[in-house]
Homo-oligomer: A and B are copies of this chain.
Amino acid sequence: MAQIKQVAITGGTHGNELTGVALLKHWRNHPNDVARGSFHTELHLANPKANSQCRRYLDQDLNRQFELSNLNDHSLCGYEQNRAKSLNALLGPKEDPRVDFVIDLHTTTANMGTSLIFNTDDPFVVGMAFYVQTKMPHATLFFDPIDRLEDNFLTSLGRHNGFLIEVGPVPQGLLRADVYLETKQAAEHCLDYIDAYNLGNLPDLPQSRSGYRFLEKVKLPENDMGELTAMVHPNLQDQDYQPINPGDPYFLTLSGETIPYQGDQAVYGAFINEAAYYDAHVGLSLMEKIEIKLKNAPIAG
């Protein structure tokens, strides 16, 4: 496999997630923090207009616009659908990208800590996740493999399907120092990994680690008029990546009645009460716990 020569770090893909935006500014003023000897790092504010208005997006979620068929569909012309094409020209084109790897910085209002989200079983990328987790053992691996050309995340624009660093909890529209420092650390570990990979200096990595794979989004209960009638139950609030067993408290109605989880086997919650999904009345994502395997040692050819 070829060496990594060009890495893009992107932030502000969601305009009200300010941590990545602030880190880009910091790194522009302190380029040594992201400079490594064996490759070049470029920094991009992904959605400046949404960021200037401190909104997640103007027309569409930018981080759902990068499927190849959508990038090539010029009838899709909302603000973010156009911006995705512009980023594809800047970093891609997706079929044969200029940039080797994209690291995209996100935050969540959910109590998820540091999640390393990657959508490929490419040993180079799995190895990155395992490497960062050895440096930050509290980080959670969030793995949802999909063909890169069908992937709709910004991270799929690079030659390798990339890496999304998601840290929380932090409200939208502000910086928390703990979340900022955690995101900075995780991103800089990724760069260290890429440098070590290029130089053939990678440490031994584990062969397998636990992680979580997305199953489905769960909507909160609504009435006939589409209004919310219940909230995430207090016992479930903030319990991201913890098991939800059949019969466990799941929702609490506005009148105070508990609705239990009706599934027939344990699942795990993530993005519990994420503000960004609340307009669609999505209360949480259900995840399954999995073992993620490093198929081969990641070695640059």
A residues at B contact (CB < 8 Å):
18, 22-23, 25-26, 30, 54, 109, 169, 171-178, 180-181, 227-228, 231-234, 237, 252, 254-256, 273-275, 278-279
Across the A-B interface, give the 10 residue pairs with the lowest CB-CB distance, nearest first: A171-B171, A109-B171, A26-B254, A174-B278, A177-B231, A173-B275, A175-B231, A171-B275, A177-B234, A177-B252
In the assembled complex, the CB of A286 is this many whole angstroms from the nearest CB of chain B, namely 18
Chain B residue, CB-CB nearest to A249: B177
B173 touches A172 (CB 8 A): yes
Residues of B within 8 A of A273 (CB): 174-176
In the assembled complex, the CB of A102 is this many whole angstroms from the nearest CB of chain B, namely 23
Q: Which of B22, B23, B169, B233 contacts A177 (CB 8 A)?
A: B233
In the assembled complex, the CB of A264 is this many whole angstroms from the nearest CB of chain B, namely 25
A175 touches B228 (CB 8 A): yes
A26 touches B177 (CB 8 A): no
Known: A30-B255, A172-B275, A174-B273. 18 other contacts (CB 8 A): A22-B231, A23-B254, A25-B227, A26-B255, A54-B279, A169-B171, A171-B171, A173-B278, A174-B274, A174-B275, A174-B278, A176-B231, A177-B231, A177-B232, A177-B237, A178-B237, A180-B254, A181-B234
B181 touches A279 (CB 8 A): no
Residues of B within 8 A of A252 (CB): 177
Q: Knowing A171-B109, A228-B22, say if A176 contacts B237 (CB, 8 Å).
A: yes
Residues of B within 8 A of A237 (CB): 176-178
In the assembled complex, the CB of A182 is this many whole angstroms from the nearest CB of chain B, namely 10
Residues of B within 8 A of A256 (CB): 181
24 A–B contact pairs at CB < 8 A? A18-B278, A22-B254, A23-B254, A25-B254, A30-B255, A54-B279, A169-B171, A171-B171, A171-B275, A172-B275, A173-B278, A173-B279, A174-B274, A174-B278, A175-B228, A175-B232, A175-B273, A176-B231, A176-B237, A176-B273, A177-B233, A177-B234, A177-B237, A181-B234
